[in-house]
Structure formats: structure tokens, C-alpha cells
Structure 1
Amino acid sequence: MARIVVIEDDPAIGGRLVATLRVLGHDSQWCPDGASALAVTERRPAADLFLVDLGLPDIDGFDLCRRLRERAPDAVLVVLTARTGEMDVIQALECGADDYLTKPFRLAELQARVTAHLRRAAPHTNGSAPHLRVGALVIDRSARRCTAPAGEVELRPREFDLLVRLAVRPGQAVSREDLMSDVWDENWFGPTKTLDVHVAALRRKLGDQVRITTLRQFGYRLEDPTGPRP
């Protein structure tokens, strides 16, 4: 059972989502505006997952995503909105959202996305080596920590999962489809812009500790900066 907060100003939509999530066994709560959602973050833990509508009456949805990410850094943020523009998707992801689902959506799709995100929010190592080393980086899979010579690198849950997937075999090309399947959802069929946004965030945070090479029309490859350039 996960704690899920539905942030939606339409009571009909909010009530239906809460009822659906409760049928699935989750502890779900409806918040009609941004202020009540931020109040939820005063408890610890705040929530495992937030469903966020961008069109709220009191707080801009993008600003709310930023504030929720700051207050609940380990929670999953899924945006639910009627906005379909590419720039809206990019801005939401850059503000901290993990996923973007446009209205109208099928409840079955939402259920699948929620289940996949919650499963990946608490990954296990499946007997794999708990520590990965790439260049000067040490990635502790069991503690979910990434350490560089200057100290710990603060990564969001999805950024950490993406780094691990690339670091399992440094120098190996990984397709966009495999990254979306392994890090997000094996049944993912939406836009993959979220992958590019998360790769950009990793590059900023990791600096010159490692290189993430873009493979045009294919995917990405993690490089050890101390090794030979391809």
C-alpha cells in the first residue's frame, strides 16, 4: 500500500481518482488546490506519489511541482493535465515531475503508470553487486547513494535509477527503448522527452566525473573519463 495524494481542482475527477486508487489498495487523499497539497508535506513521510493537475486555482502547477520536489524529494510526481504542448512537458519535467499524462486518459493507463513508478521507487538489487565504480564515482545500489571525490552527489530517484542502468556496463550503448523500459515502464508508449531531460540533469550534477555520450537516433552510452575516448 502506498500513500498517494491527488491534487485536482475538479471534485468529480479528484473523487474518481481517489476511489480508483483505494480500490487498488492505496491510501489516497484528495487536495483541491496547491495550498492543501503543500500542507500535506508538513507530515513525514509526506507521500509516496503525487498526482498533480497543472491548472490549479491558487498556485501555478509548475511552481507547485518545484515546491513539492523540494519538500518531498523522494516522492514520485506525475502530472495530469489537458496541456499537450511539448514545451509544457519539458517544463514540467524540469520542475521535478517524473511523468506527464495528458487528459483525457484511460484509468487503466494511469493505474499501470502508478504501479510502475511505485515499483521503481523502491528497487532491489536482485543479487547484483551492490557497488558500481565508474571513474571516480562510487554508486552504492543498496543505499542508493552516488559519491564523487568531492562528496555525495544528490540525485533524484529516477536520476539514480538511470545512472545505475548506464553504469552496469560502462562503454556499452543502451537504446532509448531499453532505458525507458528498464527505468520507467516496460509498457511505456508515450513521449521519451523525459529521458532527455533526466540525462541533461545527470550531466549537470555529475560534471566531468563521467561522460554520457548521445548516440544519434539510438540512445546513450556512459563513458569513463579516465579511459580512452571512442
Structure 2
Amino acid sequence: MGKILVLEDEESIRKFIKINLKRAGYEVIEAVDGEEALQKSLYESEIDVAILDVMLPGIDGFSVCKQLRKNDKQIGIIMLTARTQEIDKITGLSIGADDYVTKPFSPSELVARVDALYRRVKLLKKNKSDYFMQGPFKIDLKGRQLYKNGKIIELTPIEYDLIYLFLMKPNKALSRNDIIDSVWGKDYFGYYKAVDVNIRRLRKKIEDNPSEPKYIETVWGYGYRWKTN
């Protein structure tokens, strides 16, 4: 699995994150402040994802985020923010972070976010590109945008996550539970109908004839499959 940098000054939280990431199969590099995180990012080879706390003594998480993004365009970055600080989320995403997790958080949610970002990072490194092509579709992995035959298709965040999941797993039958875990997170307790509703909306945007879908195939009694042939 991948290598994850965890920058968190509170030891109990840092150890909690490390334990759960190691259980998921990741190698974990710890840093207690921004200076140590930047130093380790230079000397540790192939860090795939960095988890950065925003509030830190000395160099804060935003400054570390900007420097990491400057040094490595492909590294995945997740910011840890306080639940009440909406501006932290906006600031983090605007300076190069890929995602954010609010405190307090569940370990399954954090690992799911890391898993999703790690897959994206590995794909970027494999293709050495910010784009992924499949048939008439082109997905902009950094800009989170989808194109069909060169024309942009406006998607909601959920719709983008759905199309990304399908494109990464072509011709594989995905259960509704698989889709919920990957897109909504393992802590989601809503109805399976959310999957069907969003698939229906997505088909209207990407299919030539939504009533006879060519790409998103229904696997009756189970879920959906992305067809490439």
C-alpha cells in the first residue's frame, strides 16, 4: 500500500490516525509540527498522501499544504479542520488541498477518504497525467471535471464521485453497498435509493438515450456496472 504523512501535534489524535491507517495497510510517517513535516517530505521517498492538521504551533497546516503542493503536484492532501471553521475548508481547498475531514471524525471515514485519494494519486503517477481517457469520456482528476467528446458535462460532487468510481472499475458489477461505501462513506446510514436517484440523474447527463443506457448498466437485484464494450 501507500505511504501516508500524518501531521498532527496532539499525540493522542496522531496515534489514533496511525493505528487505523496501519490496520488498513498503509505505511505511516509522523510529524508533530510543520517544520518536521516539510523536512520528512523531502527525505522520505514517494509520499502518496499527506494528512495535515490546520491549527499548529509555528508553521500552520495551510503553509505546509502550499509548500507540499509546490514540491509535488501529484501528492494527495487532506486537511483536518475544526467542525465550526468553514473558512478552513475553503482556504485549504483553494491552496491545493484535495479533501478535508472535520474533527471529530470516525476512523472509517478518514480511511475511506485516504483510500479514495490514494487511488487517484496512483492513477496520476501511473499515467503521468492529470487526465484519464476512456471511450468518449475524459476525466480531469485534479479539476474534478468530466468531458464527453470534448464537451464539459456539469456534475454535482456526488455525480463526479460516481463517474470516477465507475471509470476506475470498468466492467465490474458494483453492489449498491459498494457504491455507498465508496461515494458516501462507510458511516452513511441513508437509504439505498440515494444510489438509484443519483444514477438516474447521471444517466440523463452522459447517456445518448437514458432510457436505454449504453454505459451505466443495471445489474438487477444487485447494483450497476460501467460497460466499455
Deviations 1:127-162 (A, max 9, x none): xxxxxxxxxxxxxx944167xxxxxxxxx9523xx3
Counterpart residue number, 2:121? 121
Counterpart residue number, 2:10? 10
Q: Which amino acid in 1 is paired with 2:183?
A: N
Counterpart residue number, 1:144? 129
Counterpart residue number, 2:151? 171
Q: 1:121 offset after TM fit, Å?
A: 1.7
Query: Alignment partner for residue 180 of structure 1, among 137, 144, 161?
Result: 161
Structure 2 SS opposite 1:175: coil
Question: Matches of residues 193-212 of structure 1 in structure 2 within 5 Å?
Answer: none
Counterpart residue number, 1:73? 73
Asked whether the equivalents of residues 74 and 157 of structure 1 are also in contact (C-alpha less than 8 Å), the reply is no
TM-score if structure 2 supplies the norm length? 0.62
> Which consecutive unaligned segments of at least 5 residues does structure 2 have?
132-139, 166-180, 186-201, 206-229
Q: 1:180 offset after TM fit, Å?
A: 3.4
Structure 1 SS opposite 2:36: helix
Counterpart residue number, 2:48? 48
Question: Matches of residues 212-223 of structure 1 in structure 2 within 5 Å?
Answer: none
Q: 1:178 offset after TM fit, Å?
A: 1.3
Deviations 1:72-131 (A, max 9, x none): 22110001121533322111111111001100001111111111111122238xxxxxxx
> Which consecutive unaligned segments of at least 5 residues does structure 1 have?
125-140, 147-155, 190-217, 222-230
User: Which range is displaced more, 99-108 or 43-52?
Assistant: 43-52
Asked whether the equivalents of residues 54 and 88 of structure 2 are also in contact (C-alpha less than 8 Å), the reply is no
TM-score if structure 1 supplies the norm length? 0.62
Q: 1:19 offset after TM fit, Å?
A: 1.5
CA distance in 2, matches of 1:45, 1:168: 36
Asked whether the equivalents of residues 53 and 79 of structure 1 are also in contact (C-alpha less than 8 Å), the reply is yes
Counterpart residue number, 1:104? 104
Of Structure 1 and Structure 2, which has the larger fraction of its residues in helix? 2
CA distance in 1, matches of 2:29, 2:118: 16
Asked whether the equivalents of residues 81 and 88 of structure 2 are also in contact (C-alpha less than 8 Å), the reply is no
CA distance in 1, matches of 2:9, 2:51: 12
Structure 2 SS opposite 1:90: helix
CA distance in 1, matches of 2:84, 2:149: 36
Query: What CA RMSD, in Å, does the superposition of the two structures yield over aligned residues?
Result: 2.8
Counterpart residue number, 1:26? 26
- Using the aligned pairs only, state the percent identity: 32
Structure 2 SS opposite 1:84: coil
Q: Which amino acid in 2 is paired with 1:181?
A: L
